[in-house]
């Protein structure tokens, strides 16, 4: 289907065409916003608010320091491994202003996962939080990283308060592990030294890579999706076009400089990166960063401080919030946008949310490879539960059969996406890129979908074996590869099973070597080598696994058993 097919299906206020050439780069979007909205709040966290002018000043200092105190050149990779703290936007926009490519890294990664990503991307510098210093020490020597910049939670607070926060985290809460990284430079000192320097603007084009966003493949280890400045700018404009839908008062859903958006989803995840660091910044709006969304009582206490108008979340999070007794007493009178993505939205959750807050959750669909938003539902009464809406402006969908032939409306097939937000390809993986992207720029998603005659799309099955736990992709191959390293395991297979809390959870089937396998020991082994959300929730020991004549494990049969 051509992109125009969907245009008459768009709600009032949403444009049908976009000028994606309006900005040359993410940096241009950022600098423009900092000038226009200088005195407005940009990001808040830990009781501190940075204005756009503060963000401009700090990121320029960070860029100047990188340019004058390191041998990093435009195009070099810098990893940013931070939770939702104020240093994240400073480091990311600062690195981009210095012409560097940002490699977003999950702070909860194990040493094994960090090592793979840093080596694969050729990372030369790393910004990390001291709470994760022990893992940095473990990987630093053999990962090729030359520059370490260490952030602490109290860095940006007034000195006495900052010192107190850092002391509390370290000595009282015992959150900081023991490690030795004498070569690491304090983030605070980098900003202080950088303030005395001038940063040199770097000419950037839409074709330049802005971010390497790692995503698992169905086969083998994670690959870096090359998202260009053009990809991210286009997706930002596409999402802003959705936000331009007229509300009940005839005004756009999201207005410039007037919104308070709660940001519990990690900014290093492409979904929050585009929504919070791009869309909200471009419109001069205020992001309230939630550093630890798992601490629901603290999260609700924070919500109580703001008249928030927008919230980005996913099913797990909505359920956890609603299950807390304090949630009901919050003020939802300003809330007009609740967006869900990353994992399927459960109907009962959506209905309960609307009943409790008066705001309907709107579900969309996207992939890391599409920067990430590919489709979204209209807001309010036009939203259709159980669908992922219609493609965003300038984007086309089609479904194909096994032979690659396009299927008619209403028939299932593999969903393919074409649009300006589709990635450049996978970093240094020409074969994987060719398998996913065709010559006309159509990206195969690996998801089975039906495009209804009225243009709304439903995702009906995953062609891939991918498991989605709380919005994070888990690839069975990776789990199995780790488990096979255990001396007692002869064979294994991982599948996803439904889980009320996280949407899906990992279930592992294991065939033991002679002498059997200790399930608790195996769980501990998984915890040491896999980020928490990838660790199997259930482990079943079996005599054998179902296989094809060639010896390929039949995960589908295991799923039917489960």
Burial of 546 (0-12, 13-18, 19+ CB in 10 A): middle
Residue 407 backbone phi and psi in degrees, to 5: -100, 150
CA distances from residue 67 to 212, 229, 342, 547 in whole angstroms, order as listed: 20, 20, 36, 55
Q: What is the pLDDT of residue 464?
A: 67
Q: How far apart are CA 222 and CA 530, in angstroms?
A: 13
Which pLDDT score, from 0 to 100, does residue 462 have?
Answer: 67
- Give the per-residue pLDDT at 463: 64
The owner of tokens 């402006």 is 393
* Cβ(23)–Cβ(29) below 8 Å: yes
For residue 188, what are the contacts with CB-CB under 8 A and spacing of at least 6? 152, 155, 156, 162
List C-alpha distances in Å: 83 to 17, 109, 267, 269. 36, 12, 7, 10
Query: Of 389, 393, 383, 94, nearest to 234 (Cα)?
Result: 393
Distance between CA atoms of residues 535 and 512, nearest Å: 18
Query: Cα–Cα distance between 77 and 100 in angstroms, integer?
Result: 6
pTM, rounded to two decimals? 0.89
pLDDT at 440: 95
pLDDT of residue 551: 61
pLDDT along the chain (562 residues), means of 10: 86 95 97 98 97 98 98 98 98 98 94 94 98 96 95 94 91 90 98 98 98 75 94 98 93 96 95 95 98 94 98 89 96 96 79 96 93 95 90 97 94 95 97 95 93 92 78 86 90 91 93 93 96 96 81 80 82
Percent of the chain as helix, strand, coil, to the nearest 5: 35, 25, 40
CA 31 to chain centre: 23
Residue 102: its pLDDT value, please? 98
Q: How many CB atoms lie within 10 A of CB 362?
A: 25
d(CA 276, CA 285): 9
List, in sequence order, the alpha helices (H) in 426-554. 430-436, 476-483, 519-529
CA dihedral angle for residue 322, residue 326, residue 331, residue 335, rounded to 10 degrees: -20
Please give the Cα distance from 363 to 344 (Å, whole number): 8
Residue 211, helix vs strand vs coil:
strand
Residue length of the chain: 562
Domain coordinates in residue numbering, the chain: 467-561
CA distances from 360 to 157, 222, 351, 383, 470 (A): 37, 35, 8, 8, 20
Alpha carbon separation from 256 to 54, 388, 490 (Å, rounded): 19, 26, 58
- By the 10 Å C-beta count (0-12 exposed, 13-18 middle, 19+ buried), 79 is classed as buried
Identify the pLDDT of residue 556. 81
Q: Please check whether residue 236 is in contact with residue 420, taking contact to mean a CB–CB distance below 8 angstroms.
A: no
372: preceding bond cis by omega (within 30 degrees): yes
> Hey, which residues does 553 pair with through a beta bridge?
547
Phi, psi of 38 (to 5 degrees): -45, -45
Per-residue model confidence (pLDDT) at position 17: 95
Residue 11 C-alpha from the chain's centroid:
27
Task: Provide φ and ψ at 51, rounded to 5°.
Answer: -80, 170
In the chain the first and final C-alpha atoms are separated, in Å, by 37
**CA 374 to CA 393: how far, in whole Å?**
9
Calculate the CA dihedral of residues 179, 180, 186, 187 and round it to 10 degrees.
Answer: -50
* Dihedrals phi, psi of 52, to nearest 5 degrees: -60, -35
Handedness of CA 146, 150, 151, 155 (dihedral sign): negative
Distance (Å) of CA 288 to CA 48, 82, 263, 280, 299: 10, 16, 6, 11, 11
Distances (CA, A) of 401 to 67, 181, 323, 408: 50, 54, 42, 10
136 token code pair: 């940095």
The architecture that CATH gives domain 467-561 is: 2-Layer Sandwich (3.30)
Strand blocks (E) in 267-336: 286-289, 310-313
Cβ atoms within 10 Å, residue 553: 20
> What's the chain's Rg over C-alpha atoms?
23
C-alpha distance from residue 330 to each of 26, 97, 297, 335 (Å)? 35, 39, 12, 11
Could you give the maximum distance between any two Cα atoms of the chain, in Å?
Answer: 71
């Amino acid at each position: 289907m051509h992109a125009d097919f969907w245009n008459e299906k768009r709600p009032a206020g949403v444009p049908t065409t976009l000028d994606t050439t309006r900005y040359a780069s993410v940096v241009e979007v950022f600098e423009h916003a900092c000038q226009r909205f200088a005195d407005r709040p940009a990001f808040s966290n830990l009781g501190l608010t940075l204005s756009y002018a503060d963000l401009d000043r700090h990121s320029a200092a960070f860029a100047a320091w990188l340019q004058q105190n390191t041998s990093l050149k435009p195009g070099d990779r810098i990893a940013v491994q931070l939770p939702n703290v104020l240093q994240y936007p400073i480091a990311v926009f600062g690195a981009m202003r210095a012409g560097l490519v940002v490699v977003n890294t999950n702070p909860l990664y194990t040493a094994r996962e960090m090592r793979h990503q840093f080596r694969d991307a050729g990372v030369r510098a790393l910004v990390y939080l001291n709470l994760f210093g022990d893992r940095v020490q473990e990987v630093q020597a053999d990962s090729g990283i030359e520059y370490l910049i260490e952030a602490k939670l109290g860095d940006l607070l007034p000195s006495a308060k900052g010192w107190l926060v850092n002391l509390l985290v370290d000595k009282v809460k015992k959150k900081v592990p023991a490690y030795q990284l004498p070569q690491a430079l304090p983030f605070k000192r980098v900003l202080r030294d950088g303030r005395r320097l001038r940063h040199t603007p770097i000419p950037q084009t839409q074709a330049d890579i802005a971010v390497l966003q790692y995503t698992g493949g169905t086969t083998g280890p994670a690959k870096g999706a090359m998202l260009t400045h053009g990809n991210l700018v286009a997706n930002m404009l596409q999402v802003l076009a959705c936000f331009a839908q007229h509300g009940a008062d005839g005004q756009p859903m999201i207005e410039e400089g007037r919104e308070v958006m709660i940001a519990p989803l990690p900014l290093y995840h492409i979904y929050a990166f585009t929504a919070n660091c791009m869309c909200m910044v471009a419109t001069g709006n205020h992001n309230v960063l939630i550093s630890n969304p798992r601490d629901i009582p603290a999260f609700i206490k924070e919500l109580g401080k703001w008249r928030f108008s927008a919230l980005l979340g996913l099913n797990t999070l909505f359920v956890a919030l609603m299950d807390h007794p304090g949630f009901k007493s919050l003020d939802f009178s300003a809330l007009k946008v609740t967006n869900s993505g990353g994992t399927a939205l459960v109907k009962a959750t959506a209905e309960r949310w609307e009943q409790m807050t008066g705001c309907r959750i709107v579900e969309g669909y996207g992939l890391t490879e599409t920067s990430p938003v590919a489709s979204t539902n209209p807001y309010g009464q036009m939203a259709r539960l159980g669908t992922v809406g219609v493609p965003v402006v300038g984007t086309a969908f089609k479904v194909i059969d096994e032979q690659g032939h396009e299927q008619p409306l209403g028939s299932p097939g593999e969903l393919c996406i074409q649009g300006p937000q589709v990635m450049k390809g996978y970093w240094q993986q020409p074969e994987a890129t060719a398998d996913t992207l065709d010559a006309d720029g159509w990206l195969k998603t690996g998801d089975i979908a039906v495009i209804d005659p009225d243009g709304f799309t439903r995702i009906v099955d995953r062609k891939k074996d991918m498991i989605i736990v709380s919005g994070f992709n888990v690839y069975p191959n990776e789990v199995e590869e780790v488990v096979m390293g255990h001396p007692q395991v002869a064979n294994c297979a991982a599948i996803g099973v439904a889980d009320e809390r996280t949407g899906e959870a990992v279930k592992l089937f294991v065939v033991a070597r002679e002498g059997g396998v200790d399930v608790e020991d195996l769980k501990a082994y998984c915890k040491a080598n896999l980020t928490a959300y990838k660790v199997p929730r259930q482990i079943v020991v079996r005599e054998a696994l179902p296989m094809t004549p060639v010896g390929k494990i039949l995960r589908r049969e295991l799923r039917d058993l489960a």
